[in-house]
Structure 1
Amino acid sequence: MQSKENKPWYKHPFVWLLIGFPALAIVSGIHMAYLAYTNKDGLVSDSYYKDGQRINERLALDSQAANQGLNAQVILGDDQQSIRIMLNKEVNGPLELKLSHPTRVGVDQSLELQAIGNRMYAGKLAHPLALERWQIELSDQKSTWRLVKEWQVLPGEAIEIKPLK
């Protein structure tokens, strides 16, 4: 029988502690570098100058919706994909709905809403909408007006979108 001091190095637990922590730090660092390389930061815009120039255009669309007195109610279906919208006034043509996540660019969705009745529109999202916070933008296809609101998604709860002032 070997004494405690004559054991091979790999049978001492403290050796593995000395090897394990630096090895774990190296593997974690490589994983973090991979995540940083593959995930785009949605908060930073590559074209911030052009985005700044478009602010006046967006404000004009908001004021046009206010001038027309438009507002809408949005209801998300139980399946988290079907959306119904009811406007307070009649508008021409199909509507466009954009849902943008504040931080994750890859999950943004856009769809065309078709009229299903008097001032009623409906559409189906490509992917179910997570119960999170979203930026919702409703406009006509000609981009003559728009309604914008931040939406905390709750199933079966209608939200009202009014023009920004």
Structure 2
Amino acid sequence: MNTKPTDIVVEPWYKQFWPWFIFLLPASVVVAGVITVIIAFRNADSLVADDYYKKGLGINQTLAEDTAASDLAAKAHIDIDALTGEVRVKLLGEFSVPPTDLVLEWIHPTSQKQDFAMAMNITPTAEYGGQLQSAVSGRWYLELSSQQPVAWRLKSEIDLGAPTSDNSERYQLLLSSGVEG
């Protein structure tokens, strides 16, 4: 029996499936890596504080402000109306002279761009008042401070998205010193 070998037609490599499949695997990894680098640079995480080194060096002053608040037995009742943006502060403590103005800092836990400070001016009812420039919601760290007659500060945290006891848009918060004297 004589069998005639069949003619095998060999196509060029670039017309074959497997070389392209093998080349596409590393090429897809390179493309994904470039896309990841682009996303990382466009959406870089900001530091919570740009001057973290200076703030680290100033920790003693910060602790002194906390201690001063404790020495003054400072407490503050804060009433926030989320609908109107009105903020009222009733300051309690052993102040020889009540401060003429306070600063209420709103510090967002994840985005430094959203941080802002409010000047709280004294009202005829011996409370302090201020107005939010825009609506705020979510979780915030609050720092109430004054530089007169002595530098002190109170800190707390509030969630303006949490339901209130009376289902209104009014949030009440008590700030007190966390330092044991």
**Structure 2 length-normalised TM:** 0.66
Alpha-carbon contact 2:105-2:143 (below 8 Å) kept: yes
Q: 1:68 to 1:84 in 2, by over 3 A?
A: same
- Aligned counterpart for 1:114 among listed residues 121, 126, 133: 121
Three-state SS of the structure 2 residue aligned to 1:50 is: helix
Three-state SS of the structure 1 residue aligned to 2:170 is: coil
Identity %: 28
| Range that drifts further, 58-67 or 136-145 | 136-145
Q: 1:46 to 1:87 in 2, by over 3 A?
A: closer
Please state how far the C-alpha of 1:92 moved relative to its aligned partner.
2.1
Name the residue aligned to 1:125: 132
Superposed counterparts of 1:95-114, under 5 Å: 95-114=102-121
**Structure 1 length-normalised TM:** 0.72
Superposed counterparts of 1:37-56, under 5 Å: 37-43=41-47, 45-56=49-60
Please state how far the C-alpha of 1:118 moved relative to its aligned partner.
3.7
Q: 1:34 to 1:124 in 2, by over 3 A?
A: farther
Q: CA RMSD in A?
A: 2.8
Structure 1 unaligned residues grouped into runs of 5+: 1-21
Superposed counterparts of 1:1-165, under 5 Å: 30=35, 33=37, 35-43=39-47, 45-79=49-83, 81-89=85-93, 91-130=98-137, 132-142=138-148, 144-153=151-160, 154=162, 155-165=169-179
Three-state SS of the structure 1 residue aligned to 2:74 is: coil
Greater helix content: 1
- Give the number of equivalent residue pairs: 142
Letter in 1 for 2:127: M
Alpha-carbon contact 1:99-1:135 (below 8 Å) kept: yes
Q: 1:118 to 1:63 in 2, by over 3 A?
A: farther
Q: 1:44 to 1:128 in 2, by over 3 A?
A: closer
CA deviations 1:26-79 (Å, max 9, x no partner) are 69x74x655533445244544332221111111100110110111001111132
Alpha-carbon contact 1:43-1:102 (below 8 Å) kept: no
Letter in 1 for 2:68: Q
Larger Cα-atom Rg: 2
Please state how far the C-alpha of 1:80 moved relative to its aligned partner.
5.8
